[in-house]
Amino acid sequence: MTEIALRVQRSADKLTSMGDSRFARQLDLDHDGGRYRTDVSDIWNCPIVPHGGLVTAVAARAMARELDDPEQRLRTITTVFAGAVQAGPVEVDVTLLRRGRSISQVSATMRNVGADAGLTAMAVFGADRRGFEFTDLAMPEARPPEECPSFREVAAEVGEGPFHFNFWDHVDNRMVRGHSRWGAFPPSPTSERVYWYRFDEPPFLDGGVLDPLALVTLCDTMPGAVAEKIGSDHPVWLPPSADLTVHVLGEARSEWVLARNRCRRAGDGYASLDIELWDPDGRLVAYGTQIAFFVFPEGG
């Protein structure tokens, strides 16, 4: 185990159980014959509607419950946002496309009660299979999180600007390389950012594994790479998601995960982004990619 892993490892007797966390309570669903219901809280707004990764996680929970096969874990999920999912009552309609002995496919549509559109997701669940194992990426070097500034500290010092992102009231973000979205900074030679994430109430499952849907949620934090590349001297902009794809690659056992985030290309009003999530022991546990588009609320 690396020095960083030892420094951020959480002891078993201090783990927050899944049932005690805000995240777990948000993923608790009522069920009625293929349709799942819950109220999405505005505590997850980012900034105007609930965080796209969070509502994707809610849909994924409904799909996992419909499949009801603990041997088949979430491997990949792709979400298209046809309409914004607002805070409040939502319904999730789940379709089991195919139940296989080791791999199954499931779809879900989630929308606010009475809304015409929301998100549609497709996911693959699979049991462990025979195959090869390697990682052709290296975890970025990083100082431990306690040595890195928190976005909350920066926001308190320089202010947040016109929007408050409720989501970050429940997730700590500590910058290793790059800038926060608050304050003034020049364009950077690269869009790459490296930072630590931790839920204030880490949603651990039995056995000390971070809920994989927490990884799905954290992957939807990519557009800051655009700001890193272009700098802060621009009109206020927001980056709604056109889509989100997450590959769940391993189990995270630390309360902190390390993220590396880049924008591969921006043009025509869209940005292509990706993110890696690493357990501090050096394992790649999730990979995400998406297209975001740009909105300028003040007409800039």
Could you tell me if 109 and 117 are in contact, meaning their C-beta atoms sit under 8 angstroms apart?
Answer: no
Helices (H) and strands (E) in the chain, counts: 6, 14
Question: Cα-flanking dihedrals φ and ψ of residue 169, to 5°?
Answer: -75, -10
In this structure, is residue 80 part of a structural domain?
A: yes
In this structure, is residue 179 part of a structural domain?
A: yes
Tens digits of per-residue pLDDT, 192-239?
A: 999 999 999 999 998 999 999 999 999 999 999 999 999 999 999 999
3 state SS of 47: coil
Residue in 275, 246, 245 with CA at minimum distance from that of residue 258: 275
Residue in 204, 198, 199 with CA at minimum distance from that of residue 253: 204
Task: Please tell me the distance from the alpha carbon of residue 251 to that of residue 208, in angstroms, as a whole number.
Answer: 10
Q: Locate all alpha helices (DSSP H) within the chain, ordered by sequence.
A: 3-8, 22-26, 52-67, 151-158, 212-219, 224-230
Residue in 256, 258, 248 with CA at minimum distance from that of residue 285: 248
In this structure, is residue 54 part of a structural domain?
A: yes
CA dihedral 154, 157, 161, 162 (to 10 degrees): 110
Task: Please tell me the distance from the alpha carbon of residue 46 to that of residue 151, in angstroms, as a whole number.
Answer: 15
In this structure, is residue 46 part of a structural domain?
A: yes
Tens digits of per-residue pLDDT, 83-135?
A: 999 999 999 999 999 999 999 999 999 999 999 999 999 999 999 999 999 99
Specify the CATH number for the domain of residue 231: 2.40.160.210
Higher pLDDT, 11 or 47: 47
Tens digits of per-residue pLDDT, 147-198?
A: 999 988 888 887 777 888 999 999 999 999 998 877 789 999 999 999 999 9
Could you tell me if 9 and 187 are in contact, meaning their C-beta atoms sit under 8 angstroms apart?
Answer: no
Q: Give the pTM.
A: 0.92
The boundaries of the domain holding residue 107 are 3-128+135-293
In this structure, is residue 90 part of a structural domain?
A: yes
Q: What is the pLDDT of residue 12?
A: 36
- Mean pLDDT, the chain, whole residue set: 92
Q: What is the pLDDT of residue 280?
A: 97
In this structure, is residue 119 part of a structural domain?
A: yes
Q: Which two tokens stand for residue 19?
A: 């049932």
In this structure, is residue 298 part of a structural domain?
A: no
How many domains does the structure of the chain reveal? Answer: 1
CA dihedral 198, 203, 208, 212 (to 10 degrees): -90
Q: Give me the residues paired with residue 290 across strands.
A: 273
In this structure, is residue 85 part of a structural domain?
A: yes
